[in-house]
């Protein structure tokens, strides 16, 4: 197990928020073309964009706090792990008619979210974020 320092965790949270805003913009503005390209339902693409926007706003708020709130970071980590599980289900268990590009898209963004979640989880283990006992 490894840990990262709070300053690095803050950067990871900003990166997560930034990529979330990018994902939200692309999915909300391009839901139709993305749906055709991937085989995902257009409504699901738009929903993913809306959820990404909400999550990115929360991540930016947490990252902007003078002291990173441990419950907020935990909520982000949990949400990211849920996103990863949902991505795996969409790719392999939902029975959607995904294209090859669509399967790759869902799995690659799920992998990117997994990396961010692991880094954020490592940040929670840093001594500066652990509550005193």
Q: What is the DSSP string of 103-127?
A: HHHHHHHHHHHHHHHHHHHHHHTST
Q: What is the rounded average pLDDT of the residues 12-17?
A: 98
Does residue 38 have a pLDDT over 60? yes
Residue 86, token pair as written in the block: 């949902």
* Domain residue ranges in the chain: 6-124
* For range 33-46, the mean pLDDT: 97
Q: pLDDT digit string (tens) for 24-35?
A: 999 999 999 999
How many Cα atoms within 13 Å fall on the side-chain side of residue 24?
14
Q: Give the model's pLDDT for residue 129.
A: 58
**Can you tell me the mean pLDDT for 97-120?**
97
pLDDT at 3: 80
pTM of the model: 0.90
Q: Kindly calculate the radius of gyration of the chain based on its CA atoms and give it in whole angstroms.
A: 16
pLDDT at 6: 85
Model confidence at 1, in pLDDT bands (50, 70, 90)? low
């Amino acid at each position: 197990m490894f840990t990262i320092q709070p300053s690095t965790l803050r950067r990871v949270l900003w990166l997560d928020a930034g990529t979330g805003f990018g994902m939200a913009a692309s999915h909300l503005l391009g839901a139709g073309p993305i749906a055709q390209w991937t085989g995902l339902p257009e409504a699901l693409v738009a929903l993913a964009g809306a959820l990404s926007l909400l999550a990115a706003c929360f991540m930016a708020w947490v990252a902007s706090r003078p002291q990173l709130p441990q419950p907020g970071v935990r909520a982000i980590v949990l949400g990211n792990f849920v996103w990863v599980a949902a991505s795996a289900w969409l790719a392999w268990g939902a029975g959607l008619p995904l294209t090859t590009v669509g399967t790759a898209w869902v799995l690659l963004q799920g992998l990117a979210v997994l990396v961010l979640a692991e880094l954020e989880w490592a940040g929670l283990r840093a001594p500066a974020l652990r509550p005193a006992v």
